Amino acid sequence: MTKHSPAARPLSLSIVVPIHNEEENIPLLHGQLHEVLSVSGRDYEILFVDDGSRDTSLQKLLEVAEADPHVVVIEFRRNYGQTAAMQAGIDHASNDVIVTMDGDLQNDPTDIPHMLEKIELGFDLVHGWRKDRQDAFINRKLPSRIANSLISRTTGFPIHDLGCTLKAIRREIAQELELFGEMHRFIPILAHRRGARCVEIVTKHHPRRFGQTKYGIGRTTRVVLDLITVNFLLRYFESPMKLFGKAALWCGAIGFLSGLATLGMKLFAGIDMTGNPLLLQTVLTTMVSLQFFSLGIIGEVCTRLYYSNSKNRHYAVRNVLRQEPEHPATLPARAA
pLDDT tens-digit series, residues 206-232: 888 776 665 555 566 677 777 788 888
pLDDT at 251 over 90: yes
pLDDT confidence band for 3 (50 / 70 / 90): very low
Please tell me the predicted confidence (pLDDT) of residue 254. 95
Please tell me the predicted confidence (pLDDT) of residue 135. 67
Query: What is the 8-class DSSP label of residue 107?
Result: B
Main-chain dihedrals φ then ψ at residue 32, nearest 5 degrees: -65, -45
Q: Is 249 left (phi over 0), alpha (psi -120 to 50) or beta?
A: alpha
Q: Which parts of 28-138 are beta strand (E)? A: 44-50, 71-75, 97-100, 125-129
Please tell me the predicted confidence (pLDDT) of residue 81. 87
pLDDT confidence band for 4 (50 / 70 / 90): very low
Please tell me the predicted confidence (pLDDT) of residue 328. 55
Please tell me the predicted confidence (pLDDT) of residue 35. 94
300 near 294, Cβ under 8 Å? no
Q: How far apart are CA 47 and CA 37, in angstroms?
A: 14
Q: pLDDT by residue (tens digit) across 95-131?
A: 999 999 999 899 999 999 999 999 999 999 999 988 8
Q: pLDDT by residue (tens digit) across 57-98?
A: 999 999 999 999 999 999 998 988 888 899 999 999 999 999
For the chain, what is the mean pLDDT? 83
Please tell me the predicted confidence (pLDDT) of residue 1. 39
